[in-house]
Structure 1
Amino acid sequence: MTAASAQRAQELRGLLNTAAHAYYVLDAPVMEDPVYDRLYRELLELESADPSLVTVDSPTQRVGGTPAEGFSSVRHRIGLLSLDNAFNAEELGAWYGRLLRVLDREPSEGQPRPALAMVGELKIDGNALALSYENGVLVRAATRGDGEQGEDITANVRTIGSVPLRLQLDQPPAWLEVRGEAFIPDGVFDGINADRQQRGEALFANPRNACAGTLRQLDPKVVAARRLDFFAYTLHLPDDWQGQRPTSQWDSLQWLRDAGFKVNPNAELLPDLDAVEAFFNSWDGGRRQLDYATDGVVVKLDNLRLQDAAGFTQKAPRWAIALKYPAEEAPSKLLRLTCQVGRTGVITPVAEFEAVPLAGTSVSRATLHNADRLDELDLHAGDTIVVRKAGEIIPEVVRVLKELRPTSAERLQLPHTCPECGSTLVREAGEAATRCINSSCPAILRGALRHWVSKGALDVDGLGSKLIEQLVDRGLVQSIADLYRLDAALLSSLERMGQKSAENLVSALAASRQQGWARQLYGLGIHHVGEVNAKALAATFPDADLLQTAACNAPESITAVFGIGDEIAQSLQQWFANPSNLQLLNGLREQGFSLALSADEQRRAEAASSERHLSGSTFVLTGTLPTLSRSQAKELIEAAGGKVSGSVSKKTSYVVAGDEAGSKLTKAESLGLTILDETGLQALLGSPQSA
């Protein structure tokens, strides 16, 4: 490599990246196509002659390399949570009320609500991406996945012209996390489908599905040909970065623009809730003129300090909400009412109707949830119904056009017996759900097996729904534990199962015995115990026996776990009280399952518990602390075993009060609770003996 070649390559990269930013992001070309092509070829020739000149931010690396064999799973540095939804002004107002309460800014009775500045952004109907930069260079791009882990699709995202390979900053941070939405513009989508139609290929249902499928293509050249676009909307910077740091969401959007990202131009800074509603209403019609799909508006608290104070639930930020537009509706004729039996025995009525196009897909089925909803709709055979997609995703029956009802039509009701096993159905007082309580019901067993082998649970590859149906229908599997009694000879005798597939499945089942206690617990399918709750419970109760003892004899120890409430504690108590569930646990132990933390997990848990001297203590944070953000204080407390609550009660152990502490401090004083400032909190965190 000569110095002249290296200097020229650097110069060409700068010219080409600047031109790409002007074209893809600013929509203001600064270079004619022939000039760009000539410079691009010159850079390509330099890099071909001397591969050491190739850098990850080179424009030649947007599309390159051989197709991938698959995508690896990566853990996000910062989680990608989803947003809670609101579908009308009342639900928006309720969210705002909750936000004021958690910020300790609720008005006194008879006083107006205080106005907090918010940012309204169009909700792009695409696919969320997490972009990671190190020293200004794109090093990784990943899908949302489950919010904690996604798939590494860096090679594909490099093909998106509006994603900068290098930040346009003189002094970039050591690392930067950017969140945004990849999408296919409507015009591009129409062209893709036109080409597919000419080639006799199946058409994509809508731009969002096309984008999702494109991002998971193994060949980046296919991705490049589909011309995806990208809008950035969130950034995360290192705490110790000394550069100019945005203090609001509005400033963050400008920071992203300055760094070289494409930001949706239709965002607006809104002074109060009335302005939010006006912004939302103004785009109801205007969104149809855009060249990309949007199904609502994302409303975010503008002040980043207040965002931090508001914090998160386990699933979503408290400081943001997606305000959705009413879904498209269409009439259709009801053909029949069927029922599904879930893995917990819940009977779900399903309306089957003549197929109608909705939000880009053909829809012919919709859940009716339960008997109450069925009665509310007053469905009769042959009714004409109005169908829509809730949140433009899930089909639902909105209402019945009774004026079109056939004469003498029969009213539809849930059956009295299980459609799968014939057992009498039960509906307990005060419950909306109707259930089959026969634990041997084939439908319940099939659902339990599908859940056990699912990706978030035991993650058994090769055991799909069709094979599960065969195993259950032939009586080969009557419980989860029976899966581990299967051998390759028996499996290979089943339909569509060869010897090699059977051997692979037996190996996959054997390997699943090594999955951690949290996955095993989640796989049991206990009502209300999801992946996040299972991890929290497994960390606190290191084996099934301890969890059973706590659930049956000390439910207060269950609810003491952060994020676990009375509903989960009650569900665990009911589950362990069922003899068939205890029989299942014994069967799993016989098949080699520990139903406990492994030795390594146990050591890590013990090391962590030695530092959790605040276990059993409940904290409430109010006001602004001098050096700690609300989320930092919360993380420190939880790392020490404490629980952070949003409300003050007699059970509160400590109230940590900073500047501008409000009604929570007043209530704490009236109850005689222990009140700490930041210094007192730090002392408590650092002194196990004082706890």
Structure 2
Amino acid sequence: MSKTSKTAASAQIKRKHSDLKEKVNYHNERYHTHDKPEISDYDFDQLFSELLKLEEEYSGLDLTDSPSQRVGGDAIAAFKKMDHRLPMISLANSYNEEDIKEFNARIKKFLRNDKDVEYFAELKLDGLSMELVYEDGQLVRALTRGDGVTGEDVTHNVKTIKSIPLKISHKKLLEVRGEVLIDKKDFVEMNQAYEEAGQMVFANPRNAAAGTIRQLDPKIAASRPLKFFAYALGAYEGIIFDSQKDIEEKLAALKFPIIDRKFTECTSSEEELIEYYHRINQHRAQLPFDIDGIVIKVNSLSLQDDLGMVARSPRWATAVKFQPEQAQTVIENIVVQVGRTGALTPVAVMKPVKVGGVTITNATLHNQDEIDRKDVRIGDTVIVQRAGDVIPEVVQVILDKRPKNSEAFLIPTNCPTCGTKASKEPEEAVLRCQNPFCKSILIGSLIHFVSRRAMNMEKVGDKLIEAFVELELVQNFSDLYKLTDKDIQKLERQGEKSIQNILNSIEKSRQTTLARFIYALGIRFVGEQTAKLLADHYGTIENFMKTEAEELEKVPEIGEKVSATILKWLHDKRMQSEVKTLAKYMTFEAPKRNLEGKLTGMSFLVTGTLPVKRDVAHEKIEENGGKLLSGVSAKLSYLIVGEDPGSKADKAQSVGVKIISWEEFLELLK
């Protein structure tokens, strides 16, 4: 945070500052660690703003544990390597319930004890291992695991994680170990934002967390939704622990985030450990974050001491992993597909293989940078998985099985469909075909145009669009409205009733809104909410088509980059002609939004789970004159949050947007 302090802080100001820090840290913990906020987001923002203002105005204040340090400071030149006081050991791995039985038998045999041993079982988080070092109650260092003996100092990034306390009540040495990760929901939102901006996307949440922690600029870490969960110790002084369960309870008392106790098990029963393993495996898809197994530890720390180590692994603990949702297959070909925005996307065509009960034949390779990073080639034997249990991806190449005559794959610099020269936008990783009438772009654009949220031609499906284009019945959007029953009879298996349904569906779509029409045009960066904002601002398609940059950037969410993309589309003479032709077929309904309602002049974004359905919330906003935005920016008036709001709440807080609950929103209407 930049400092422009004018006045030295008095004792009274220091007391006020200390009180504000304590309040903000307390409510941060309730929100980020326990998911049980006690005040509204708006009230929290007021507290935080007051704290920032105080720190701007007065020098000499103690900032070591101030929440203001979460925004990220100056970038560093490089990472320093530092030794751990105690090695960060790895666990022995096993993969089934028989291994649990064998582990229990080994423990009893070593202890020469026929009695049941109590175990503590917890989730094996799939993130980045981290050690937090506290001295005199202050977080002084954060180290990655590294090779177990030496880690990298990433304190500058870890301090931006809101769930990690910067200051604790224990005033002697305490090293807390745990995992840095990103929730699945936050990961999807983050990747969607990067993809829309033409930036590289992450393969999975673990890679995203690890990549973020290794950034030299802490502002990048501050902008990403990192979380931390504590579960173990390094060196410590002046505090006594007697069991694994005791460790978690005392760490929780010191305000460290720990995994919800409903996901842990403390038992002496081998059968209950096995049941826990199967239960967690069965429900892992529903967990908010990725795990790859469970960890079983002897609960008593004194028994752990008795059991000691085997090589570099503790004898008293084991990781029982789940069978990976992965498989081996062969890449038979790499084809380049062209999407409606012209993006050239390489796709691996693979020998069919079952992963997690689903047969996989294709996997996206994203772009040339991704192909180069993984060195994927035609003929390679690869490991594939379903990322997030949904999207097929190539994890790695098995180089030992690579054919001797293999060659590196390069995406063609010309569009594979129309032959037009492809190019990259500045700061983008994706090659794009620049021909708006390329057949592949045309098919993708038409599929978008007729979709439910656009022109809503419900009887015109993807296969029908492809057939229209192949037979050259449709070469642009307006050709859909020129189709006759004789035209459609040229297609195979189209009966009289089916043809009439198609024509009725096209005819019905002519009655639409300006917002739907603008969205249907498929202009890059113009989603549903942006289309509504444009429709509200311009009122007619004619006004929109003749706009210039200065006027366009007055619209919420339209910045310089989006403005330039829209104007490039609008200034294309072929597009201008097409829109004029299309407009002749359209009857535009008046917008349902009340332009003189109580929310006129205000903009809103909804995130998280509300007491009402999302569509109901949107209608409530628009019928009272409010505008809906699709992302967080300084132009946003209010972010309405429900349960599990994700990263949008953090971003809103960082740019000073007011955050309110659904109940507080309803108060605005009174």
Per the normalisation by structure 1, the TM-score is: 0.47
